[in-house]
Structure 1
Amino acid sequence: MARAARLGATSDREADFIRAGGVLFQAGQGISIGQRTEAYERAMAQVAGKNPSDTESQVFYALAMLSNVSPTDKTHAKQKQAIAVLEPLFRAHPDHPGLAHYLIHACDSQELAQQGLPAARAYAKIAPSAPHALHMPSHIFTRLGLWDDSIQSNLASKQSAHAHGDAMGELHAMDYLVYAYLQEGKDGQAQLVVEEMKGMRSLDMNEFAIAYAATAMPIRLAVESGRWSDAAKVEALANVSPSIQAIAIWSKGMGLARTDRAGEAREEVARLRRIEKQLRDSGDDYWAVQTAVLADEVSAWSSQASGNADQARLLLQAAADREDSLEKRPVTPGPILPAREQLGDLLLLQGHPEAASDAYGAALIQAPGRRGALLGKARADQGVH
């Protein structure tokens, strides 16, 4: 950005873009990422205001809004502001890849997913050789439970990413692919994807999205298949961030608790609490809350294994409420095992089919078409009637 400023601008519009970019990438002690992105949004609002008929000024302003979305805002106020800018432009420019891309991000929530479906259907056709363009529609497909569409989207993205040497794009598509296969009961296909991932060499575990996918995929397979002994054997990959280590520790703790090894599971809860504190102390509140949810889940199932059913229910209810209060990050198709779905499992196990049915129903509102919740609700409803 300093070089751009030195080179100078050929128009006021270009100068404004350079100034806005300088705000985003400003270096200064004590300036947080949030402060930079908020300043950038204000700068881009000025650019958009001065250039109301310029498509790119409006597009980048909408993207700046999306950079400041709060995961705790379940009204999706910023997303709706961005959509109000992007949708009319997309109707006017239906082959614009940025518009389709950012609309999908803006609509990546349970409330707004249906609104993002036209962009999802269009994006892969706009940029058919770009791995990320092939993958992005599956964010909407996942929200709507359109598993066949998600599978086709991620198979194409995975193949394109591999051809481009894009390991992050390939792993990201593979994680979404495993998730979709499992929802259709295609555990064998999911297993093949996991085995392919294990055979990949020289993966950079310092890249968050790579480390997340490599950690999550085999855990999804074990947990969604109910293979708790396999889940208990999971160990964290080396050199990954604490928030990703927490997922592996959660898997081990859940596996131990679900195989009646409550004492050992509580040791994993203690490890999760230490990571939660580490994340909170570093200012990473989002992943600190997510880790707290994981700890509560393992603690709940440990309580159940120890015969304390009431405490198990209270802990899992609190975990579900906390998880539902936050939006997921784009790095994941969803929690490994949603807390509200787990609450249904627990209530059914404890002999409360009507309450279990309600929990599964609520889980399916958040994540339509999830196999575990659908099967659980069917079992619970049979118990009620």
Structure 2
Amino acid sequence: MKMHLLSSALSVAILFAAAPALAHDAKYHLAKNTELKQFSGNQLPTPGTQGAQVPLWPNLTSHRSAASTASKDAQAYVDQAMMLSFGFNHAEAARSFKQAQKLDPSCAICFWGEALVLGPNINAPMDPDANAVALAAVAKAVALAPNASPREQALIAALTRRYAPDTERTVLDQAYAEAMAEVADKFPKDDDIAVLYAEALMDLNPWDYWTDAGAKPKGKTAAIISTLERVLARNPDHVGAIHLYIHVVEASTTPERAERHADRLAKMDIGAGHLVHMPSHIYYRVGRYADSLAVNRRAVATDESFFQAVAPEGLYAGGYYPHNIHFLLVSAQMAGDGPTAIEAAQKLSGVISDELARAAPAFVQPIKAAPLFAHAQFSDPETILAVARPTGDFPFVDAAWHYMRGVAQARRGELDAARSEGAAIAEIARSADLNALEDGGMPAADVLAIAGHVLTARIAQAADDWPAAARAFADAKKVEDRLSYMEPRHWYYPIGQSLGAALLRVGDLDGAENAFLESLVLAPNNGWALFGLSEVYRARGDEVLAEKTSRRWRDAWVGSTSMLRLDRL
């Protein structure tokens, strides 16, 4: 018998104690520009909506943002606008600030707020068309500043550093961050100012906060974290601080430090879908897939309720809403909830237009492909083969369609047809122009390479050639290991679970154990991998550890246990 590559003691430690913390091993590279892939959407309200009545939402006005106004209604709209801003719904925040201006034309902070939300953020550069509008709003705020409080005057003065006729953002963003540092020093107990300062620092290097695979803070990251932690220590319900804190630590080696804040946010009644969704960025990282599924189900419902009263537009409707559905889908996939995954896949297919996929390929095309991967994982072959070929000229999405069909044909024993689908994937990878995805940070070539290897493995499985399947899964895993950090991940499941299943079938229990444990490093509390690991221990005759592991996967699993077979891992 071969020596275990991981000792039994270490195996148990990883499985039952350290798996969540180890989910961010240095071998899994981390990268910037996640979430919306710097989606370049319009942040200005749609023309014609500026004069429309803006509703007040009870669950968007609970956060108090002091404004120098005698109008209670204007104050309510400022409160709502700040909450919308904390939830990255900047176009609607601008509308609320403009409504406050109508109610009190002398309110300086109302004009400041309009200019604030027209600027860049961690998910989107500034819309060039917004610069003139922002400058006009800042000028109005400056003119009204003598009637404002010292706090408001300081915020207005800082914002004048953010905009200029010369729209060179790097210089302006640095100047604004420095100005906000001065404001934060002047008002050290003001939570909103601290959060705005932290966000200004985050905007300097969006999604690029860590080095050494998430182990070491980069640039201003330590200052961002300490600023937000001070706010949360004295005001643990500050939604803006929680939101930013989740984002700044999620790609680190210790995302669990934000877990209690995510739990607190998840319990709040908030009418901003992105804030409802935000706990899932931590839940998914630490292996709480059922909780991630639950908050994203609520987030999608919150967005849809909001859209009934406010016509969806711009970046929020085209980016954040589909992102919530996508997260619902992948959370269901990891939890084994096939019906929810397919339902989310169908919804997602209906909200992603070809126009959007062309406008933001690196963000939208993987979302457009996600329903096809969900079908490959959960649907029966007949359902899969009835799925129409995607419209539009999107080679990455087309390759996902071929992959899905190949998986179905392999399950039906139609191996030549499955090989033809694999050849189609290889041809797309060889000849298609994937530059727009690669340039946007989406490793399309590597993902298609994984798809080809996994399909080859599924064909070998169907031919009962498990050694060949193990080799192909190992090839796929080598590519997976070099993928950059992304939530949801670039490939829809950890390939280690498939490799482990194949190695178990060929009798390599040590190799299978290691593969499943590595899968749990990448995806803690992964029920698919936990099931496979329990089968390894059962094959070894270790019924105690097998049953202990089985309890783990039963606790993590949401869907039908009929999916838990080695050939489906």
Q: TM-score range by the shorter chain?
A: 0.7 to 0.9
Counterpart position of 1:75: 214
Letter in structure 2 aligned against 1:279: L
Query: Which of residues 422, 428, 436 is equivalent to 1:265?
Result: 422
Is 2:342 the partner of 1:219?
Answer: no
Whether the 8 Å contact between 1:143 and 1:367 is mirrored in structure 2 is yes
Matching of residues 12-27 of structure 1 within 5 Å: 13-21=155-163, 26=167
Q: Contact between 1:231 and 1:255, CA under 8 Å: does it hold in 2? A: yes
Larger % of helix: which? 1
What's the counterpart of residue 135 of structure 1? 277
Structure 2: give runs of 5+ residues left out of the alignment: 1-130, 146-152, 358-362, 542-569
Distance of 2:172 and 2:396 partners within structure 1? 28
Alignment-mate amino acid for residue 452 of structure 2: V
**Counterpart among 471, 476, 485 of residue 327 in structure 1:** 485
- After TM superposition, the runs of 4+ consecutive aligned structure 1 residues lying more than 6 A away are none
| Distance verdict in 2 for CA 1:106–1:121, change over 3 Å | same
Residues 151 and 301 of structure 1: CA distance in aligned 2, closer, same or farther (over 3 Å): closer
Q: Are 1:49 and 2:204 matched, yes or no?
A: no
Q: 1:319 to 1:345 in 2, by over 3 A?
A: farther
Deviation at residue 158 of structure 1 after TM alignment: 1.6
Q: Tell me: CA distance 1:49–1:191, structure 2 relative to 1, closer, same or farther (3 Å).
A: closer
Q: What are the residue-to-residue correspondences of 1:222-237 with 2, within 5 Å?
A: 222-225=375-378, 227=380, 237=390
Unaligned 5+ runs, structure 1: 28-35
Look up the match of 1:284.
439
Residues 254 and 265 of structure 1 are in contact (CA less than 8 Å); yes or no, is this contact kept in structure 2?
no
- In structure 2, relative to structure 1, the CA distance for the partners of 1:334 and 1:21 (3 Å cut) is farther
Tell me the secondary structure at the aligned position of residue 344 of structure 1: helix
| Cross-structure match for 2:328 | 177
Displacement of 1:214: 4.9
Q: CA separation of 1:152/1:240 partners in 2, compared to 1, >3 Å: closer, same or farther?
A: farther
**Residue 128 (structure 1) shift:** 1.3
Q: Distance in 2 between matches of 1:88 and 1:48?
A: 16
Structure 1 position 359, deviation (Å): 1.4
- What is the number of residues matched between the two proteins? 365
Structure number with bigger Rg: 2
* Matching residue of 1:188: 339
CA distance in 2, matches of 1:87, 1:240: 46
* 1:265 to partner: Cα distance: 0.8
On the 8 A contact 2:480/2:491 being kept in 1, the answer is no
After superposition, the Cα gap between the structure-2 partners of 1:274 and 1:253, relative to the gap in structure 1 and judged at 3 Å, is farther
CA offset at residue 56 of structure 1?
Answer: 4.2
C-alpha contact 2:174 2:204 (8 A) present in aligned 1: no
C-alpha RMSD over aligned residues? 3.7
Cross-structure match for 2:523: 367
Who is 1:33 aligned against?
none
Is residue 232–residue 252 contact of structure 1 (8 Å, CA) maintained in 2?
Answer: yes
Is residue 134–residue 156 contact of structure 1 (8 Å, CA) maintained in 2? yes
Higher relative contact order (CA 8 A, sep 6+): 2
Residue 353 of structure 2 corresponds to 204
Q: What is aligned with 2:472?
A: 312
C-alpha separation between the residues in 2 aligned to 1:368 and 1:174? 22
Letter in 1 for 2:179: V
Moved more, 7-16 or 312-321: 7-16
Shift of 1:240: 7.1
SS of equivalent to 2:213:
coil
| Among 323, 339, 356, the residue aligned to 2:512 | 356
Deviations 1:336-357 (A, max 9, x none): 1223333334433444332122
Q: Distance in 1 between matches of 2:164 and 2:505?
A: 57
Distance 2:505 2:172 in 1: 51
Query: CA distance change for structure 1 residues 47 and 239 in 2, over 3 Å: closer, same or farther?
Result: farther
**Aligned counterparts of 1:210 and 1:111: Cα–Cα separation in 2:** 27
CA change 1:147–1:299 in 2 (3 A) is closer
Distance 1:71 1:338 in 2: 23
Aligned partners of 1:119 and 1:50: how far apart in 2? Answer: 27
Question: Residues 246, 97 of structure 1: CA spacing in aligned structure 2 closer, same or farther, 3 A cutoff?
Answer: farther
CA contact (8 A) 2:194 2:227 kept: no
Check conservation: 1:250, 1:272, Cα contact below 8 A.
Answer: no
Could you tell me whether the CA contact under 8 Å between 2:504 and 2:512 is conserved in 1? yes
What amino acid sits opposite 2:213 in the alignment? K
Q: 2:345 touches 2:370 (CA, 8 Å); kept in 1? A: no
Separation in structure 2 between the aligned mates of residue 249 and residue 72 of structure 1, nearest angstrom: 37
